[in-house]
């Protein structure tokens, strides 16, 4: 049976990261930008898993757990910021929050 | 086993494309769940079953549900879908997409030219090995993650709190 080449895993991680990057560049809605950041973090974790499977070491999985922790903390703080922006400005447009008026 | 890797990879890419091109936010999040489940299958095939379970529990189970709850609190209506349709047009999409595809092409070229890599080693790394590594040489990372989560909880509470508005006849504008 043929084995999985490590290039295929890295290519999948690269494609997913590219899709997240395009979305975070294109979108104006801040919730979509937060979702895109999640996609990019997940793709980075996938690259770690592929590298860890290549050398059969658990270090890649450990790094994925750290990325997971950071993503969870980031999404909670980000959603709190989004709720606060929506209450202040009554819109989800990220261009509306360009005045530093407090 | 390796054919399931490619099927799951195609499903993940298609679901992610549906996420970044859909106008309805709930539909995008449901496609995101599909994408995370497909990536969990990829992890399982690559010999990381513990991480596959964590991907489903934390990403598809906790993070997406948290975003859905936040969207429900915002109480968005059909107008937001129409507004999203106005914001995301073809001519906005085309420039960053072309540049990102160029960068991806460079990445593919670099990976394909360098002939250092071989196949993925077929060995399942179970949760015991991950736990031994996590609480052995990486224990400082676990402690730092605890500090990060603490800061996240305090920050989310502080930011998400509703300011109590003091209504007074003369002092109402004094906050500014």
pLDDT digits (tens, 9 = 90+) for B107-165: 989 888 877 667 776 788 888 999 999 999 999 999 999 999 999 999 999 988 876 66
Q: Say yes or no: A77 contacts chain B, CB-CB below 8 A.
A: yes
Nearest chain A residue (CA) to B79: A91
DSSP string, B100-123: HHHHHHHHHHHHHH-TT--BPP--
pLDDT for position A34:
93
Could you tell me if B11 and B42 are in contact, meaning their C-beta atoms sit under 8 angstroms apart? Answer: no
Which residues lie closer than 8 Å to A89 by C-beta, 6 or more apart? Answer: A96, A97
| pLDDT tens digit sequence for B1-48 | 788 999 999 999 999 999 998 888 899 999 999 999 999 999 999 989
Binned at pLDDT 50, 70 and 90, residue B175 comes out as very low
Q: Which residues contact B82 (CB under 8 A, 6 or more apart)?
A: none
The ipTM is: 0.92
- For A9, A69, B15, B44, the CA distances from B69, given in Å and listed in that order, are 33, 20, 21, 29
pLDDT in tens, A24-69: 999 888 999 999 999 999 999 999 999 998 888 899 999 999 999 9
What DSSP line would sit under B151-167, residue for residue? HHHHHHHHHHSPPPP--
Task: Output the six-digit token pair for B132.
Answer: 């031994």
> Cβ-count burial of A35 within 10 angstroms (0-12 exposed, 13-18 middle, 19+ buried)?
buried
A37 Cα to chain B: minimum distance (Å): 12
How many whole angstroms separate alpha carbon B120 and alpha carbon A86?
A: 46
Does B107 sit within 8 Å of A65, measured CB to CB? no
């Amino acid at each position: 049976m043929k084995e999985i080449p490590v290039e295929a895993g890295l290519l999948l991680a690269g494609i997913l990261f590219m899709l997240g990057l395009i979305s975070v560049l294109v979108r104006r809605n801040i919730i979509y930008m937060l979702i895109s950041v999640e996609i990019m973090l997940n793709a980075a974790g996938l690259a770690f898993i592929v590298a860890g499977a290549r050398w059969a070491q658990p270090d890649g999985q450990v790094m994925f757990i750290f990325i997971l922790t950071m993503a969870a903390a980031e999404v909670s703080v980000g959603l709190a910021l989004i709720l606060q922006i929506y209450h202040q400005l009554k819109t989800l447009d990220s261009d509306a929050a360009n005045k530093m008026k407090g | 086993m390796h054919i399931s890797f490619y099927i799951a990879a195609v499903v993940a890419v298609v679901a992610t494309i549906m996420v970044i091109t859909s106008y309805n936010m709930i539909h995008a999040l449901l496609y995101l769940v599909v994408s995370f489940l497909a990536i969990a299958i990829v992890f399982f095939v690559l010999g990381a079953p513990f991480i596959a379970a964590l991907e489903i529990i934390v990403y598809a189970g906790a993070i997406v549900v948290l975003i859905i709850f936040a969207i429900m609190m915002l109480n968005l209506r059909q107008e937001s879908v129409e507004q999203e349709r106005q914001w995301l047009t073809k001519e906005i999409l085309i420039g960053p997409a072309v540049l990102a595809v160029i960068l991806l092409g460079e990445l593919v070229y670099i990976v394909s030219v360098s002939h250092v890599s071989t196949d993925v080693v077929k060995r399942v790394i179970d949760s015991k090995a991950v736990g031994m590594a996590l609480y052995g040489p990486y224990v400082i990372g676990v402690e730092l993650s605890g500090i990060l989560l603490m800061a996240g909880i305090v920050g989310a509470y502080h930011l998400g709190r509703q300011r109590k508005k003091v209504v007074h006849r003369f002092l109402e504008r004094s906050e500014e």
